[in-house]
Amino acid sequence: MNLPTRPGKIVAVHLNYPSRVAQRGRRPAVPSYFLKPPSSVAASGEAIERPHGAELLAYEGEVALIIGRTARRVTPEQGWAAVGGVTAANDWGVYDLRAADRGSNLRSKGGDGFTPLGPSVLPAAGLDPQRLRVRTWVNGELTQDDTTAELLFPFGVLIADLSQLITLEPGDVVLTGTPAGSSVAVPGDTVEVEVDVPGGPSSGRLVTRVTESPLPFADFGAKPLVDDEQRVQAWGSAAAAGIGPVLTDELRGLLDGVAVATLSSELRRRGHPDATFDGVHPLSPGTRMTGTARTLRLIAHRPDLFESHGSGYNAQKRVFDSLGPGEVLVIEARGDATAGTLGDVLALRARTLGAAGVVTDGAVRDASATAGLGLPVFARAAHPSVLGRRHVPWEVDATITCGGTAVQPGDVVVGDDDGVVVIPPQLLDEVVRAAAAQEAQDAWVAARIAEGHPVDGLFPPNAAWLARYRSALPPDL
């Protein structure tokens, strides 16, 4: 079977590998797809141009299925029989262009040369579709390595699902998803993808060189647009994207001496009066918590949705398994404290991974045991019931509302006995330094009141008292 140079259709699957699902933090119940134009096909050895002004050209090594015979309304068992051969593919995409066409992926995934295939085809006859391996190298370094043994949607299922509405014809190509490890390539890089049976036949290495387009986009169309969220998505992690921690050691040190009440006041002065989580309290008095937010959204219970999203390795379990050091998991439970949103086992997992804490506007099960773990946990209440009584674990790392305040992944979350406050990253440095200065002034004022001075004119200090305070500061302050 020959490689198709202009297939009638190229259909690509969004998510299919468990390793990629864990990285993305969401698990689809059914496959979803997008189309790539036939003109995006390229051969091994050809170059790909990163568009002028773009920075996030990402590779995705994949197994490509080449349809060998017409498939219409076939069963999953018949689906694999419709495949004539498999080869290596690289599903290139430009994250800078997702803002304009994220639903279709047309420009972000459909550029000329954005679907290299080859270099050779492995005949499907005699292959076990669950024993294939896909690997990717960047400049000789292995970056992706996974097998098709545990795909969410096996190849036969994909063909059958598509064929319910779309006739798949000989020469059509189905891209079957990429495993974890997809990241960004830059001009000068060489990216290679290989599909093989370990110890057996191979497609050979599909080679693509990355170059830079010299031609800028015209003003009549969307231009590259990028932010840190897209950088993290493209590179695979904040660390890989070179995005340094917003919460530096210096700011952490300052925060250790700042009360949540003071932070709340500073945020209110800057137009953020709703930055506190209403109704949540620490399980253990004296708890102090500081970290960057991860998020989990729970929706109201519905039997059919719980059946599809609540069982097995659901969003709740996935996010607890993926917590990193210094992260605070914030759980949106719609203020419903009539069922637990976590218990001691998940809290133990979070503590073992080095998480900084958990905040929920719902309830906690096993409250005494959870409090005894030493992990900072802030909740509305304790309740013995399991999550499934009232909630369905739905979505990870999305913008949520918890305790009446909006929270995004990467926000800074601080808690003490007064409650919890969320600080947008762009305000962190300014708010923390102002709050630390305010704490120092308040401590000086308290000392004057302890000496017997009246509150009037001193709290808050008038011009005369402010002058006295400033004169008492060290020269470098």
pLDDT at 313 (0 to 100): 87
d(CA 5, CA 463): 79
The answer to whether the CB of 178 falls within 8 A of the CB of 144 is yes
d(CA 216, CA 223): 9
d(CA 234, CA 56): 6
**Residue 322: phi, psi to the nearest 5?**
-105, 5
| Report field, pTM of the whole predicted structure over 0.75 | no
Q: How many residues does the chain have?
A: 477
Burial status of residue 256 (CB atoms within 10 A of its CB: 0-12, 13-18, 19 or more): exposed
Mean pLDDT per segment of 10 residues, for the chain of length 477 residues? Answer: 93 94 80 96 97 95 98 96 98 92 88 97 96 97 95 97 98 97 96 97 97 92 87 81 78 92 94 94 96 95 93 91 94 97 97 96 96 96 95 93 94 96 92 90 92 91 87 68
d(CA 30, CA 161): 9
d(CA 11, CA 152): 17
Q: How far is CA 410 from CA 316, 326, 330, 388, 423, in A?
A: 18, 11, 11, 28, 10
- The set of residues, in sequence order, having a beta carbon less than 8 Å from that of 269 and lying 6+ positions away, is none
| Tokens standing for residue 99 | 């803002």
To which residue do tokens 């960047």 refer? 138
The answer to whether the CB of 386 falls within 8 A of the CB of 362 is no
pLDDT at 233 (0 to 100): 85
CATH superfamily of 10-235: Fumarylacetoacetase-like, C-terminal domain (3.90.850.10)
- Beta-strand relationship, 340-342 and 289-300: unpaired
| Tokens standing for residue 5 | 């140079």
d(CA 416, CA 396): 25
CATH superfamily of 273-423: Ribonuclease E inhibitor RraA/RraA-like (3.50.30.40)
DSSP helix/strand/coil, 187: coil
The answer to whether the CB of 65 falls within 8 A of the CB of 134 is no
The answer to whether the CB of 185 falls within 8 A of the CB of 138 is yes
Q: How far is CA 417 from CA 52, 54, 208, in A?
A: 52, 46, 56
All CATH 3.90.850.10 domain ranges of the chain, comma separated, are 10-235
| Tokens standing for residue 87 | 């080869």
What single-letter DSSP state applies at residue 417?
Answer: T
All CATH 3.50.30.40 domain ranges of the chain, comma separated, are 273-423
